[in-house]
Structure 1
């Protein structure tokens, strides 16, 4: 009696299920490590993941700001691109799709891996105004205390305004071109050297994130000799604007959590200080004074960078040629099987929890129940592949 080839243990289940059902299954894989394991099952599964851009989908799901990128470049150094190398190597005809997969896999890992939030500020770019420079420079907001010693307060002060609705802003450069930000912390300054210890807080704050239209030169940043000139919005493209957060007139570090973690593309954050509540008795003008600012989150790998090009923004991946292969799954046979079973279990539970009704249980049983082959793809520099059978 003849048997259907599709029931064979060696059947390719992506072909058996068809592209639509297979795509539905793969879109339920939310963790980059799980997607890497799935793509290691066979060459056809890996190619299916690459062709359908599932790693980019993971990034978009985590941070919609990823859609800002209009192109991706992979470079083996700061000067030589893989695209340049491709002109001399016909063997890399599939480089574009492979590069996209590699870059977005790296980005997804950075976006979705757990982390402990830390202050991401690296430099001060400038402030919209400063009352007394450099004594009240915006660089003072990087100090975690509002008093350096008994006689030296540490704070930034705006210029005075008669209009209580006049806004100010502070602009910062972060530690990397790509930072995942989820919280802003601001502490208003209490002028303990003035009568009544007034607190010069803004009424509310708002943040914008984006990238400079041209590279920031070190001499343009705030220093003891330079107050900072790159304040105007024409110098930047803002890719995210937060809601307004009301601020208390209290001398404490106040935290403002964003509605969701935001990918700051370009490493520039503008903290807008909206409205004024405190007049200075000596001149009757409204001021805003801030003692400390933190932008809490995670700086992503410096292997990733952004470069404006024309009207768009290019995501650059500076890749070491020795590590340009697909990540390995290094485990024993038992550990490999348990990880695969964990992936299958997460997909089953995800489908049930989401109420997805179009997935045939018999097909999924065959997809995850039969003997599978794990292809471990080595680094391209090694040029070899090893195959192991899962028990």
Structure 2
């Protein structure tokens, strides 16, 4: 799964906020017939790097792959692709107060939020070459990495494409993914210790909620629950029909509740003290 929760910032942006890093969260390079991508500022030196910094959806993730798609400027002559020469990845945690590293819409504050002195990097990947192709390119880490702190920095190393209009080098990315899986909330980490230690917390009784369920209001019911109740009611209807019309074989997806196949004894029990009628 893609573990990115939100953007923190980019090292530069050509047209802020129209070509913002937030566009890299959209899995398409066009939205409503308009291009969608992040663009660096232009530079005369092709070796000038750029960075994109993201916060993951939890403080402890196992990351094994990162995917990036360079942008193809279909509106420019020759349809140039603004990839980088290579990429490298860093993972770690923020030293800033919680919430202060969120993406902001003022460029100066954005640059302050991504400053290296605000982070502790506990992992640095090897360099991977990037192809000058407009495809979602996969960069598999040598082995899965435990990202403690939920921060990933993408380092884009070197430039390959000049823009004809100003004869300067740019890097443009239209989509990014950090692939892995979350260990929260069963495992949580506290990185606020003044001595620089990280405290691992193990919460075996914590319930793992899907992100879409966690975003629901307290008084509302999840779509999954509504679907479960609807399937239950259909099962109850089939059970009644079975009693009235005689035994029949009912084997479709409606016979499965919560991933468990229901047999006739289960169906009979469901008719008594039904809480949903």
**For each residue in 1:44-92, what CA deviation from the matched residue of structure 2 results, as whole angstroms up to 9, or x when unmatched?**
xxxxxxxxxxxxxxxxxxxxxxxxxxxxxxxxxxxxxxxxxxxxxxxxx
- CA 1:261–1:321 in structure 2 vs 1: closer, same or farther (change >3 Å)? closer
Q: Are 1:282 and 2:165 an aligned pair?
A: yes
Corresponding residue SS for 1:301: coil
Q: Are 1:312 and 2:194 an aligned pair?
A: no
Give the aligned partner of residue 70 of structure 2.
Answer: 188
- CA 1:196–1:256 in structure 2 vs 1: closer, same or farther (change >3 Å)? same
Structure 1 residue 230, shift from structure 2 partner:
1.4
Which consecutive residues of structure 1, in runs of 5 or more, have no partner in the other structure? 1-117, 323-391
Instruction: Give TM-score scaled by structure 1 length.
Output: 0.50
Give the aligned partner of residue 124 of structure 1.
Answer: 7
Give the aligned partner of residue 222 of structure 1.
Answer: 103
Corresponding residue SS for 2:58: coil
Give the aligned partner of residue 185 of structure 2.
Answer: 302
Structure 1 residue 224, shift from structure 2 partner:
4.5
The number of residues matched between the two structures is: 203
Give the aligned partner of residue 239 of structure 1.
Answer: 122
- CA 1:304–1:283 in structure 2 vs 1: closer, same or farther (change >3 Å)? same
Give the aligned partner of residue 265 of structure 1.
Answer: 148
Structure that is richer in helix per residue: 1
Give the aligned partner of residue 273 of structure 2.
Answer: none
- CA 1:159–1:216 in structure 2 vs 1: closer, same or farther (change >3 Å)? farther
**For each residue in 1:334-384, what CA deviation from the matched residue of structure 2 results, as whole angstroms up to 9, or x when unmatched?**
xxxxxxxxxxxxxxxxxxxxxxxxxxxxxxxxxxxxxxxxxxxxxxxxxxx
8 Å contact 2:69–2:137 — kept in the other structure? yes
| d(CA) in 2 for partners of 1:225, 1:161 | 21
**For each residue in 1:86-113, what CA deviation from the matched residue of structure 2 results, as whole angstroms up to 9, or x when unmatched?**
xxxxxxxxxxxxxxxxxxxxxxxxxxxx
Which consecutive residues of structure 2, in runs of 5 or more, have no partner in the other structure? 208-277
Structure 1 residue 149, shift from structure 2 partner:
2.3
| d(CA) in 1 for partners of 2:206, 2:161 | 58
Q: Which is worse superposed, 302-311 or 222-231? A: 222-231
8 Å contact 1:201–1:247 — kept in the other structure? yes
| d(CA) in 1 for partners of 2:119, 2:105 | 24
Structure 1 residue 304, shift from structure 2 partner:
2.2
Structure that is richer in strand per residue: 2
Q: RMSD between aligned alpha carbons?
A: 1.8
